[in-house]
Structure 1
Amino acid sequence: MKTIFDYFSARAIATFMANNPSNAVPYLGATLFPAKKKLGLDLAWIKGARGLPVSLQPSAFDAKATLRDRIGFDKVETEMPFFREAMRLGEKDRQELLKLQENSNDAYIMPLVSQIYNDIATLVSGADVIPERQIMQLLSSGEIRITSAATRQDQRYDYRFNPDHKETITDVSEQWSSPTANIAGHITGYQDKIEEDTGVRPKRGLCTRKTWGYIMRNQGFLKDMNPVGWQNVIVTDAMMRQYLLDKFGLTIVVYNKKYALLDGSTHQFYPDDYFTLFPEGNLGTTWYGTTPEEADLMSGSTAAEVQIVNTGVAITTIVEPHPVNVNTIVSEIVLPSFETMDTIFIAKVA
């Protein structure tokens, strides 16, 4: 007969996550920066442009880990940011499961088990949010900033992005929010700059729905597409995408996906009023390191059980004898490399 703890082993939770349909659709960043795993994770392995190592700003070590602070991270234990959160299956939950288990029928037990699994799945989902936020910071600023109010930490990973490949449009008449802005000239200029410096012409663009709206309303584009009566012509997304492909050889991704913080606020991964040009193919690698749980607890010589999901996210379950609880801990060490950084152009357009 199964015990309560059989339902909440790391292996059972990992199996649930693997069969969760939400895992089938990756974030945009995961498709641009495919995930890979390393034993440990030295900063020397994390590269920016031309293979140069990424600079980490000084920070305090050995900050005490906190439960469930999603703005940033708990502490840095290696040279990489270390993320760890936990949830507890308490004695009250166990009593409910014990009452159901008296029926000796999984059909009665599994609905409650699945509900608890779904709660635990939020930790794994939160782990997946971390690299996506990091990647979108790289693509909108050229660096990664990780902060935690609870631990008073503030980490900045300086990838040494080429300042000549960034622009902030300060002329109000040329900001893309103005329908008369010369967006065509801006895009061509950005593409020419990257091609002149690197020999690579960017063929993909990234923006949010708000910034895409600036493009859809731009009079220069509308007049070029419909010289006669352009004011009264309805242009669809598909028509504008084809026009930009024909005119600039450019495919634009409109990315409005969001994440939530524990305070209930929601935020876009990629910010409004920015536009990023980048080449075809992979832009870098999302590197996962070896968490302390994976390094020290997977041997089976302890009461903890550890399983790895999503390349490098460690799920650890630990049974506490008094009070009788099951702690589920999700942890990761993750940071992207950015070897193609020199072929990226970032513009603050409004």
Structure 2
Amino acid sequence: MPKTIFDLVNAPNIATYYQENNSNRIPYLGETLFPSKKQLGLDLSWIKGSKGLPVALKASAFDAKAELRDRIGVTKLETEMPFFREGMRIGEKERQEILKVMGSANSQYLMPLINRVYDDVANLVDGARVVPERMIMQLLSTGQISITSGRQVYEYDYQLSEDNQVTLTGTDQWSNEDANPITDIKEWQDEIEDKTGTRPTRAICTRKTWNYLANNKTIRLDMNPLGGQNIILTDSMVQQYLSNKLGLTIAVYNKKFSTEVGGESQLFFPDDVFTLIPEGNLGNTYYGTTPEEADLMSGNTDAQVSLVDNAIAVTSVKEPHPVNVYNIVSEIVLPSFESIDNIFIAKVADATP
């Protein structure tokens, strides 16, 4: 039987709990395209954009204190170039319940209480995983990253060439069933190949944008000249058609996250955008050394610190009076984009309100 609450609620136990319970987690799309790398600190000269140049940093903030998250409140991200950190303290009620069970013979009721605390911190780790995915999808849909936290706005410009972007207008928009997206895509593939020698063979879009292709009259007629518009198309049929016609594989990406303010559901990748990408990794997701991890490396801390996937720091701080534990999750993260010159971003329709 553990002697104190610190024997149960600590960073190593929380990190182990998270990794064991997420061992079969399906990776985000961005994680597969921008594999993670670790480096000391966060020197932006390592973070590459167009033509291998350092990414332009437009804003920063320093000495951001971890913000406590209420159990049912909104999320707040504190940013330092860019530094994300959030914490949760065990509530008075939960602490009293844990201490009461620890001092009784009903030990079988203890772990459900502890797991509830672990789940709270696991939610913070899940939130930390949202951050790089959101960055990557912003890059793949705009060529830039924009982070808003409270009154602060942080922007990173990866210098995507205007030649690698287009906005369709009028009847050329794919929301018009008489448009010709096959001609558009082939033209964009040719442009990138002529400029870089690399032909994009993959693409990303949302379900809404995908449906523009599935409902397009030109595509439907080309797939079934005799049946005309009456053909019932499945996703696999359209995928096979695009593979045969353009050598293209499309990822329909409709995953969502909850926003920091208001907790509204939002797509990682926006509707009405179609992005062509080449084969292979597009860049890397660089994780820097958080202050908590730096303290762990130097041994200059009384807190317990553990890393999840060698990237996200979980920290437990003992509070002697009242006896409690303050759990913090932090990360320093920013993707590089060495292949940005080999992508093409098309705004194919007007977003509807």
Deviation of the 1:228 alpha carbon: 1.2
The equivalent residue for 1:224 is 222
Aligned residues: 344
Deviation of the 1:70 alpha carbon: 6.9
Q: Secondary structure at the match of 2:87?
A: strand
The equivalent residue for 1:30 is 31
**TM-score normalized with structure 1 length:** 0.94
Q: Are 1:336 and 2:340 counterparts?
A: no
Q: Given the superposition, is the C-alpha separation of residues 299 and 95 from structure 1 closer, same or farther in structure 2, using an over 3 Å criterion?
A: farther
Q: Given the superposition, is the C-alpha separation of residues 260 and 227 from structure 1 closer, same or farther in structure 2, using an over 3 Å criterion?
A: same
Indicate the RMSD between aligned Cα atoms, in angstroms.
Answer: 1.7
Q: Given the superposition, is the C-alpha separation of residues 65 and 24 from structure 1 closer, same or farther in structure 2, using an over 3 Å criterion?
A: closer
Deviation of the 1:264 alpha carbon: 2.8
Once residues 41 and 187 of structure 2 are traced to their aligned partners in structure 1, the CA distance between those partners, rounded to angstroms, is 42
Deviation of the 1:91 alpha carbon: 3.5
The equivalent residue for 2:194 is 196
Deviation of the 1:41 alpha carbon: 1.4
Q: In structure 2, give the amino acid aligned to 1:232.
A: N
Residue 74 of structure 1: which of 57, 78, 81 is its match?
78
Q: Given the superposition, is the C-alpha separation of residues 84 and 122 from structure 1 closer, same or farther in structure 2, using an over 3 Å criterion?
A: same
Q: In structure 1, give the amino acid aligned to 2:6.
A: F
Q: Are 1:349 and 2:348 counterparts?
A: yes
The equivalent residue for 1:5 is 6
Deviation of the 1:293 alpha carbon: 0.5
The equivalent residue for 2:172 is 174
Once residues 26 and 284 of structure 2 are traced to their aligned partners in structure 1, the CA distance between those partners, rounded to angstroms, is 18
Q: Given the superposition, is the C-alpha separation of residues 53 and 21 from structure 1 closer, same or farther in structure 2, using an over 3 Å criterion?
A: same
> 1:288·1:312 contact (CA, 8 Å) conserved in 2?
yes
The equivalent residue for 2:136 is 135
The equivalent residue for 1:271 is 270
Deviation by residue 1:300-337 (Cα, 9 ceiling, x = unmatched): 44320000113310000001112322100000000000
Deviation by residue 1:2-29 (Cα, 9 ceiling, x = unmatched): 1211111100000001101376211000
**TM-score normalized with structure 2 length:** 0.93
> 2:5·2:324 contact (CA, 8 Å) conserved in 1?
no
Once residues 71 and 197 of structure 1 are traced to their aligned partners in structure 2, the CA distance between those partners, rounded to angstroms, is 43
Q: Given the superposition, is the C-alpha separation of residues 63 and 121 from structure 1 closer, same or farther in structure 2, using an over 3 Å criterion?
A: closer
Q: Are 1:255 and 2:256 counterparts?
A: no
Structure 1 residues 82-93: aligned runs within 5 Å = 82-93=83-94
Deviation of the 1:286 alpha carbon: 0.2
> 2:44·2:55 contact (CA, 8 Å) conserved in 1?
yes
Q: In structure 2, give the amino acid aligned to 1:348.
A: K
Deviation by residue 1:61-88 (Cα, 9 ceiling, x = unmatched): 4455533497773131xxx300000000
For structure 1, the 5+ residue unaligned runs are none
Deviation of the 1:200 alpha carbon: 0.5
Q: Secondary structure at the match of 2:67?
A: coil
Deviation of the 1:268 alpha carbon: 0.4
> 1:258·1:269 contact (CA, 8 Å) conserved in 2?
yes
Deviation by residue 1:192-247 (Cα, 9 ceiling, x = unmatched): 11001000110001000000010000011001100112221111111000000000
Q: Secondary structure at the match of 1:135?
A: helix
Q: Secondary structure at the match of 2:16?
A: helix
Q: In structure 2, give the amino acid aligned to 1:129.
A: V
> 1:89·1:327 contact (CA, 8 Å) conserved in 2?
yes
> 1:63·1:75 contact (CA, 8 Å) conserved in 2?
yes
- Which deviates more from structure 2 when the two are superposed, residues 102-111 or residues 213-222? 102-111
Q: Secondary structure at the match of 1:303?
A: coil
Q: Are 1:159 and 2:158 counterparts?
A: yes
> 1:72·1:147 contact (CA, 8 Å) conserved in 2?
no
Q: Given the superposition, is the C-alpha separation of residues 161 and 308 from structure 1 closer, same or farther in structure 2, using an over 3 Å criterion?
A: same
Q: In structure 2, give the amino acid aligned to 1:234.
A: I
